[in-house]
Amino acid sequence: MLFPCSPWLLSLPLLLLAWTDVVSAFFPYNPVPNANAKSNGLLFLADLPKLDLKGLRERFYSYSPSRSKSEGSLLPLPLRDVKEPVKLDIIKVRGNVRRQNIFKVYHADPTLMPNSLAISSDGYDYSYFSIMYFGSERQPMWMLMDTGAANTWLISSNCTLEPCKIHNTFGTEDSKSLSISDIPFDVTYGTGKVSGFLVNDSIAFAGFDLPNVSFGSVLDMSREFMNYPMDGILGLGRGPAYKVKAPTVMEELKMGGLLKKNIIGINLQRHGDGARDGQIVFGDVDKSKFVGDISYTKTVPNVGHWEVPVDDIFVDGKPLNFQGKNGIFDTGTSYILIPYEDAKRLHDAIGTAVKTPSGTHIGTSLARQRRRSSWSYPA
Q: Domains in the chain and their CATH numbers?
A: 17-31+82-282 (2.40.70.10), 290-376 (2.40.70.10)
Distance of CA 194 to the CA centre of its chain: 16
Higher pLDDT, 274 or 368: 274
User: Which amino acid, residue 269?
Assistant: Q
Q: Which residues of 332-349 are buried (b: 16+ CB within 10 A; e: fewer)?
A: bbbebbbeeebbebbbeb
Q: Helix-strand-coil percent breakdown of the chain, rounded to 5?
A: 10, 30, 60
Q: Is 146 a catalytic residue?
A: yes
Distances (CA, A) of 262 to 21, 129, 147, 174, 265: 7, 21, 15, 32, 10
* Model pLDDT for residues 261-280, shown as the tens digit of each residue: 999 999 998 888 888 999 99
Centre a 10 Å sphere on the Cβ of residue 18 and count the other Cβ atoms it contains.
21
Average of per-residue pLDDT across 146-169: 93
Q: Could you tell me the pLDDT band of residue 286, with boundaries at 50, 70 and 90? A: very high
Q: State how far Cα 228 lies from the chain centre.
A: 10
Residues 306-323 have pLDDT tens digits of 999 998 989 888 999 988
pLDDT at 145: 94
Highest mean pLDDT among 15-19, 84-88, 191-195: 191-195
pLDDT at 232: 96
- pLDDT value, residue 140: 96
How much is the pLDDT for 6? Answer: 42
Instruction: Note the pTM of the prediction, 2 decimals.
Output: 0.72
Q: Is the pLDDT at 199 greater than 90, yes or no?
A: yes
Of all residues in the chain, what percent carry a pLDDT higher than 90? 41
* Integer-rounded Cα radius of gyration of the chain: 21
Catalytic, 277? Answer no
pLDDT value at 303 more than 90: no
Helix (H) or strand (E) holding 253: helix 249-255
Which long-range contacts does 286-293 make (Cβ < 8 Å, 24+ apart)?
A: 286/113, 286/116, 289/14, 289/15, 289/265, 290/14, 290/15
Instruction: Out of 125, 174, 201, 330, pick the active-site residue.
Output: 330
Q: Out of 146, 201, 231, 286, which one is annotated catalytic?
A: 146
